[in-house]
Copies of this chain bind each other. A is one copy, B any other.
Amino acid sequence: MTDDSVAVELDFGDDELIPAIAQDVETNEILMLAYVSPDALEETQNTGLAHYYSRSRDELWQKGGSSGHRQHVEEIHVDCDGDALLYRVEQEGGACHTGYESCFYRTLDGETVGEKIFDPNEVYE
């Protein structure tokens, strides 16, 4: 039996990472998917700002740390198996480094369906 009053146990798996979906708390739009380490999750909870773990750079990072496009985390949900997270966020600026509001701005066929809201050349120097 699961006791609903206790914190949910997470399964970080062999690589100590768990995928986290960032969703706009107002529009429910999905903004991005990134990975979270135990430290990244703790930093997110301590600061209220979304932190992730970069697999390519092998480091903890704060979303918006360089661009200013921070994510204020209002709620964190966890899935039934405890191996995926949902960050419900208020997004400053756009979530995608390409300038789009969401990283999921294309269909699989290459059609652009998302909205470009900033010029990455002006944000990332």
**Taking beta carbons and an 8 Å cutoff, which residues of A are in contact with B?**
3-8, 19, 21, 23, 27-30, 32-33, 45, 75-81, 84-86, 96-98, 100, 103-113
In the assembled complex, the CB of A28 is this many whole angstroms from the nearest CB of chain B, namely 3
Tell whether, in the assembled complex, residue B84 and residue A33 are in contact, meaning their CB atoms are under 8 Å apart: yes
Tell me how far the C-beta of A116 lies from the nearest C-beta in chain B, rounded to whole angstroms. 12
- A85: chain B residues at CB < 8 Å are 108
Residues of B within 8 A of A97 (CB): 80
Residues of chain B lying within 8 A (CB to CB) of residue A107: 8, 75-78
A47 to chain B, nearest CB (A): 15
Smallest distance from the beta carbon of A26 to chain B beta carbons, Å? 11
Tell whether, in the assembled complex, residue B103 and residue A80 are in contact, meaning their CB atoms are under 8 Å apart: yes
Contact yes or no, B33 A108, CB < 8 A: no
Question: Distance in Å from the Cβ of A81 to the closest Cβ of chain B?
Answer: 8
> Complex: how many Å from CA A81 to CA B107?
13
Measured between beta carbons, the chain B residues less than 8 angstroms from A33 are: 19, 21, 79, 84
